[in-house]
Structure 1
Amino acid sequence: MTSTNARRAAIYTRISLDASGDGLGVTRQEEDARAIVSSRGWEVAGVWSDNSISASDARKVRPGYDALVKAYDAGAFDALVCYDLDRLTRQPRQLEDWIDAAEASGLALVTTNGEADLTTDAGRLFARIKAAVARAEVERKSARQKRAEIQRARSGKAPVKGHRLTGYELGGRVIESEAAIVRRIFAEFLAGGAVHGIATRLETEGVPTRSGRRWNPATVTTILKNPRYVGRVVYDGQVLEGVVGQWEPIIDSADFDLVQAKFNDPARKALKVSTARKHLGSGLYRCAECGGPMKLKGGRSYQCLGHVSRLQAVVDDYVLEVIAERLRQADASELLAPEEADLEPLVAEAERLRSRIAVVDEEYMADLIDARLRRDKVARLQAELTELDGKLASHRTGSALGGVLASPDPAAAFLSSGLMAQRAIIDSLAEVRLHRGVKGRNVFDPESVSVIWRGTD
């Protein structure tokens, strides 16, 4: 029979890693703890457990431990049994909380390898030494792991622990299905796509993320800014200069640098408004009569005031199919013009101009120059930057086309690409001119849409 003065004992079990996933480790700890409770004539007030959860990091959530603390605060038990002190905690600060509890209310803390009496000086000294040794062991292990990670990074090897990068397995092997998504994101952004728009299209199309969560602008931005996609080694948030990654790059270095230049553009930071087009042919198609750009009016028709008005849906469908058919031809790979110019000097010059604009802004904020001088300086630098961006524009559209041509099925890749990439590819391959439709005819006439291939006589 249990004494009316018997303590109410809480049992806490934990192992850091349950490799088998069967929970037998915590089960054995509970069996040993129950034997201790029974031998002392106590009652089991409850069992709290954290299976395969480390206690080394105080920031890591341990649901069982947190529930144990709440139960004690609620007066649910006055004795605590665990396999060993380092199963309960490896944090000296957490241990002090239990010592305070023992001093204040006489909490009995028992381990299956002997009683740790926290109500005595000797017992508290033993517990503190035990916790300090456990903490030192954790810190030594962490230091060894950090040295190994640094050595691995300096040798150019891909990480083998932590969260894997979209497009790669841990260790650096390319996952082609995910790599295609990464290439698409870069191509669409270089073609003028907005980060928010790219994320929206991927989500709408049901394209899976690495984690299975929803696409959002932050996810797309993280991909666009990660240097590992071009074979650059990153450690502790910094690129290790002079170290070449021992894995296959997914993105071309010049394209990556262009993306970073766009992100660092002061004008982009100041004007956080998307300028991305929302319709395939708006501003891209031309009026066959005056040569002016066609604009979408009323949400249904491309119009050139006083000349041509054509239904958007049927024209877009026709243009997409004409371009796709061209990409199905055996000589489609020849559509990509060879790289003639070294883009690195252009990218570097663009970055220099953006840095100068940023300096001018800092001078203005520090009251070193007035508003008029700032405006004149920025206008001059911005004019140079605009001219430079024009020189880079052909490469940006070529990047979108190159990504499609690298696919096993270029036509399918084009048709599944985002809006901005499709616009860039159409613009790089052809000029689309819209003619007047025949009045009274409701049937679409392909002859009323001219697709004029670039580079042909």
Structure 2
Amino acid sequence: MSLSTQMPSTRLASYARQSVGEDQGLRQQVEDCRNEATRRAWSLVAEFADNDTSASKARGAATAWAAMLRAFDAGEFDALIVTDVDRLTRSLTDVLEVRPPKRDMRIIVVRGSIDTSDPSGDFMFKQLVLLAEREVAVKTVRAQRYARDRRAAGHPSPGLTPHGYRWIFSNERDHTGTRYAIVEEEAQDVRQIFREYLAGAALGQIARDLNEAGRRTRKGARWHTSTVRRILLNPFYAALLPPAQPTGEHDLARIVIEECTAGAWESIIQREQLLATRSTLVGAKSNHDGNARRWLLSGLAICSICRSPVRSARGETHPTARKDGSGTAASLRYHAYRCVNGHFMRNGDIIDEYVAEVCIGRISQPDSRTLLEPPETGPDIEVLNAQKIELEGRESAIALLIASGKMNAQAARDALDVLADELRGVNNEIARSILRDPLAELAGVADARAWWSEATLARRRAVIDALMVVAIQPVGAGRRVTTMDAAAASVAIEWRH
């Protein structure tokens, strides 16, 4: 920003910068530059400041650094003042931007009394930049080593903490250095998302159920299919630390579970659940429209005449005038089901209530588990987990052979490739086993009515779909079905088993 002052022979501009996004440090730098300009009785014609900007990385065209260079090229100032050399830059590449041969910008450094118009000052300026660049290189190597050690121990890096966890700061950590702690209220959302999806609920239906229950994301936003999908793909919930991905290329779908490290924090869901959800989502085209349902039987029940799926509708009453002459009652809207081929349109509340009672009665029976459990055609999940542990043990053994010099690099790579293929196959089998039994939680439910009242709409629909086909019958124009007996007489239940 330009400062309107009387222009002496030397026109001065200031530059301030810091790597962290705090205003206080910038204000102090700007104030120090102003004081120095006043002391020299020079005119400060422009001030440039970059907040949350590194001096060891390239600075883009939108930064104050770039604006300062453009202003100098336009002849708007003669010299640049900074508080310290490292506030201007920590890279020799940037020095080439401000000093000959590209530009002959005079640099004045408040601390150290450096002025590049003097040869010795120019030499000192460049030496200090070289020292700053070396310090950055040393810190980078140190940080990379720390990151490797941290990752090997299963600790995540700082950043956006997944919904369901909170970040534990260093002064709160236990002796193991755990970085994530479960936030139980948010973790319930995560468990519900996995449970509902594995029971066959659509992403849009899961999002709608969460929103209607008043649940929100950590930022207070409504749930969408995209956020539900990201949670279902995220290995952090199974306490798995994925390999680092290039900056700007983060993609949950591209993470290979077999390449993840065991995380040093408590999992919210089981690894097998994650494998099952990823097996159906990775490689599948994202559907952000969803197919969420609002009513129990829409798209699920059928018309008893044409066997087409029924759709939800909004019915409207048409009251007649009162006999006492006081007018007509207000028209009311109600939830209804309609046949797409026009065979009926019926009030849906009593039908939903009847079907719910039928379901509760059926899952209360001792043999309900046999109705919900699909035929066992695959290997036992305990056997698969044992195979997975054995394969992981072989991987550790190969690492020991390499370290002891008993296996060369090429042989090790070949053996690890074979192991990776076998481990991937076992993980896929585990995923299929989980998907074969999505309603296992209903086994031995003590209170079916309590389970039904607490279950989400998606969960109830999944049970209905597993147990029965609901065929709704026409009842004739003008006839109202208001009792459970009348509903039973006009709704046919066709059991699947």
**TM-score over 0.5 for the alignment?**
yes
Show structure 2 runs of 5+ residues with no match: 168-178, 246-254, 315-335, 386-429
Once residues 107 and 202 of structure 1 are traced to their aligned partners in structure 2, the CA distance between those partners, rounded to angstroms, is 60
Say if 2:12 is the partner of 1:9: yes
**How far did residue 51 of structure 1 move?**
4.7
| Corresponding residue number in structure 1 for 2:482 | 444
Once residues 316 and 444 of structure 1 are traced to their aligned partners in structure 2, the CA distance between those partners, rounded to angstroms, is 9
One of 399, 411, 427 as aligned partner of 2:465? 427
Once residues 66 and 220 of structure 2 are traced to their aligned partners in structure 1, the CA distance between those partners, rounded to angstroms, is 28
One of 262, 277, 285 as aligned partner of 2:301? 285
- Describe the shift of the 1:411–1:87 C-alpha distance in structure 2 as closer, same or farther (beyond 3 A): farther
One of 198, 216, 234 as aligned partner of 1:190? 198
Once residues 336 and 8 of structure 1 are traced to their aligned partners in structure 2, the CA distance between those partners, rounded to angstroms, is 86
Once residues 18 and 433 of structure 2 are traced to their aligned partners in structure 1, the CA distance between those partners, rounded to angstroms, is 60
- Describe the shift of the 1:163–1:34 C-alpha distance in structure 2 as closer, same or farther (beyond 3 A): same
| Corresponding residue number in structure 1 for 2:39 | 39
Aligned length: 394
One of 317, 320, 339 as aligned partner of 1:303? 339
- Describe the shift of the 1:412–1:133 C-alpha distance in structure 2 as closer, same or farther (beyond 3 A): farther
- Describe the shift of the 1:445–1:56 C-alpha distance in structure 2 as closer, same or farther (beyond 3 A): farther
Q: How does 1:358-373 map to 2 (within 5 A)?
A: none
Once residues 211 and 298 of structure 1 are traced to their aligned partners in structure 2, the CA distance between those partners, rounded to angstroms, is 34
Once residues 467 and 493 of structure 2 are traced to their aligned partners in structure 1, the CA distance between those partners, rounded to angstroms, is 9
- Describe the shift of the 1:43–1:192 C-alpha distance in structure 2 as closer, same or farther (beyond 3 A): same
| Corresponding residue number in structure 2 for 1:221 | 229
| Corresponding residue number in structure 2 for 1:247 | 265
- Contact kept, 8 Å, 1:8 with 1:44, in 2: the verdict is yes
Q: Deviations over 1:354-395 (max 9, x none)?
A: xxxxxxxxxxxxxxxxxxxxxxxxxxxxxxxxxx99976552
**How far did residue 98 of structure 1 move?**
1.7
**How far did residue 5 of structure 1 move?**
3.9
- What TM-score, normalized to structure 2? 0.62
One of 414, 418, 442 as aligned partner of 2:455? 414
| Corresponding residue number in structure 2 for 1:368 | none
| Corresponding residue number in structure 1 for 2:274 | 256
Q: Residue 173 of structure 1: SS of its match in structure 2?
A: strand
- Describe the shift of the 1:216–1:87 C-alpha distance in structure 2 as closer, same or farther (beyond 3 A): farther
Q: Which of 26-35 and 191-200 deviates more?
A: 191-200
Once residues 452 and 123 of structure 1 are traced to their aligned partners in structure 2, the CA distance between those partners, rounded to angstroms, is 92
Once residues 140 and 359 of structure 2 are traced to their aligned partners in structure 1, the CA distance between those partners, rounded to angstroms, is 54
Aligned AA for 1:138? V
**How far did residue 37 of structure 1 move?**
1.2
- Contact kept, 8 Å, 1:336 with 1:398, in 2: the verdict is no
Once residues 273 and 172 of structure 1 are traced to their aligned partners in structure 2, the CA distance between those partners, rounded to angstroms, is 30
| Corresponding residue number in structure 1 for 2:353 | 318
- Contact kept, 8 Å, 1:154 with 1:240, in 2: the verdict is no
**How far did residue 247 of structure 1 move?**
1.9
- Contact kept, 8 Å, 1:91 with 1:131, in 2: the verdict is yes
- Describe the shift of the 1:274–1:39 C-alpha distance in structure 2 as closer, same or farther (beyond 3 A): closer
One of 175, 194, 197 as aligned partner of 2:183? 175
**How far did residue 109 of structure 1 move?**
1.1
Q: Residue 145 of structure 2: SS of its match in structure 1?
A: helix
**How far did residue 244 of structure 1 move?**
2.9
Once residues 211 and 65 of structure 2 are traced to their aligned partners in structure 1, the CA distance between those partners, rounded to angstroms, is 38
- Describe the shift of the 1:80–1:59 C-alpha distance in structure 2 as closer, same or farther (beyond 3 A): closer
- Contact kept, 8 Å, 1:323 with 1:426, in 2: the verdict is no
| Corresponding residue number in structure 1 for 2:320 | none
Once residues 451 and 160 of structure 1 are traced to their aligned partners in structure 2, the CA distance between those partners, rounded to angstroms, is 57
Aligned AA for 1:166? H
**How far did residue 86 of structure 1 move?**
0.7
- Contact kept, 8 Å, 2:198 with 2:438, in 1: the verdict is yes
Aligned AA for 1:244? A
Show structure 1 runs of 5+ residues with no match: 348-387
Once residues 275 and 22 of structure 1 are traced to their aligned partners in structure 2, the CA distance between those partners, rounded to angstroms, is 44
- Contact kept, 8 Å, 1:17 with 1:51, in 2: the verdict is yes
Q: Deviations over 1:311-332 (max 9, x none)?
A: 36425753686599889x9x9x
- Contact kept, 8 Å, 2:338 with 2:345, in 1: the verdict is yes
**How far did residue 166 of structure 1 move?**
1.5
Once residues 181 and 60 of structure 1 are traced to their aligned partners in structure 2, the CA distance between those partners, rounded to angstroms, is 40
Once residues 312 and 392 of structure 1 are traced to their aligned partners in structure 2, the CA distance between those partners, rounded to angstroms, is 38
Q: Which of 110-119 and 169-178 deviates more?
A: 110-119
Aligned AA for 2:438? R
Q: Residue 209 of structure 1: SS of its match in structure 2?
A: coil
One of 141, 161, 180 as aligned partner of 1:164? 161
Q: Residue 242 of structure 2: SS of its match in structure 1?
A: strand
| Corresponding residue number in structure 1 for 2:411 | none
Q: Which of 165-174 and 444-453 deviates more?
A: 444-453
Q: Deviations over 1:236-268 (max 9, x none)?
A: 146575843232212222221111211246xx4
**How far did residue 172 of structure 1 move?**
1.5
Aligned AA for 2:346? L
Q: Residue 147 of structure 1: SS of its match in structure 2?
A: helix
**How far did residue 54 of structure 1 move?**
4.0
**Cα RMSD between the aligned structures?**
5.0
- Contact kept, 8 Å, 1:292 with 1:304, in 2: the verdict is no
- Contact kept, 8 Å, 2:273 with 2:431, in 1: the verdict is no
Aligned AA for 2:353? Y
**How far did residue 90 of structure 1 move?**
2.2
Once residues 236 and 397 of structure 1 are traced to their aligned partners in structure 2, the CA distance between those partners, rounded to angstroms, is 35
**How far did residue 35 of structure 1 move?**
2.9
Q: Deviations over 1:16-44 (max 9, x none)?
A: 347xx671x33433333223212322112
| Corresponding residue number in structure 2 for 1:136 | 134
Q: How does 1:329-408 map to 2 (within 5 A)?
A: 342-343=380-381, 394-398=436-440
- Contact kept, 8 Å, 1:49 with 1:64, in 2: the verdict is yes
**How far did residue 186 of structure 1 move?**
2.5
Once residues 181 and 208 of structure 1 are traced to their aligned partners in structure 2, the CA distance between those partners, rounded to angstroms, is 9
Once residues 371 and 140 of structure 2 are traced to their aligned partners in structure 1, the CA distance between those partners, rounded to angstroms, is 50
Q: Residue 146 of structure 2: SS of its match in structure 1?
A: helix
